[in-house]
Amino acid sequence: MLNIALPKGRLGEKVYDMFEKAGYECPSIKENNRKLIFENPEKEVRYFWVKPSDVPIYVERGAADIGVAGKDILLEYQPSVYELLDLNVGKCRMTVAGKKDFFDDGKRTLKVATKFTNIASDYYAKLGRDIDIIKLNGSIELAPILNLSDVIVDIVETGNTLAENDLEVKQTILPISARLISNKASFKFKSGEIEKIVRSMKEQIKDL
């Protein structure tokens, strides 16, 4: 059995469809219930839904052999896993955003609100800019509006959240997409199965 950790939510459903088209279907997963684990013994796969930011933890510790995680999560948490493939879905970008009238004149410490403290710290360290990091867990866009921070470092997909809150992108830090990752030991001991999945997933990506 190959254990596969999928990120719960829209991206996970899209990625499951890719696994299905690649020949690793598990029809019970489409039944709308609260179950978290689904298996297809014939195809020797077991899927489970986990919180997107937890996927690397399951994979790093071997509870899952492979999984799908956003590049944002991988950069932020630096798990010890192999990154096998860019799945070319879940595309968005990591950005610095702020109020339209905000301009960083560099004269005082910049207050940065974010979920991604490591990505933000690295980015500003490379620029040699002094910052004060404010770690938040969601609704990051509120921070500059309420003057909790000067800017935010966050993900932008459609740009709707920023637009609806009168904020704008100031800088793009890097592009993000979903990656197929593997546990290091599994990659050694289940290399045949994993490589087969990677090959079939590559075919899906070509057709996107």
Q: Is 39 in the site for ligand PRP (CB under 6 A)?
A: no
Among 121, 159, 170, 200, binds ligand PRP (CB under 6 A): 159
Number of residues counted as binding ligand PRP (CB under 6 A)? 12
| CB closer to ligand PRP, 119 vs 156 | 156
Among 83, 86, 157, 166, binds ligand PRP (CB under 6 A): 157
Q: For residue 28, what are the contacts with CB-CB under 8 A and spacing of at least 6?
A: 35, 38, 40
Question: Which residue carries 């500003």 as its tokens?
Answer: 124
Binding mask 111-150 for ligand PRP (x = CB under 6 A): ---------------------------xxxx---------
The footprint of ligand PRP on residues 42-81 (CB under 6 A) is none
Tokens of 95: 């950005």
Q: Is 155 in the site for ligand PRP (CB under 6 A)?
A: yes
Phi-psi category of residue 139: left, alpha or beta, with phi > 0 → left and psi -120 to 50 → alpha: left
Distances (CA, A) of 53 to 42, 71, 105, 151: 30, 11, 34, 23
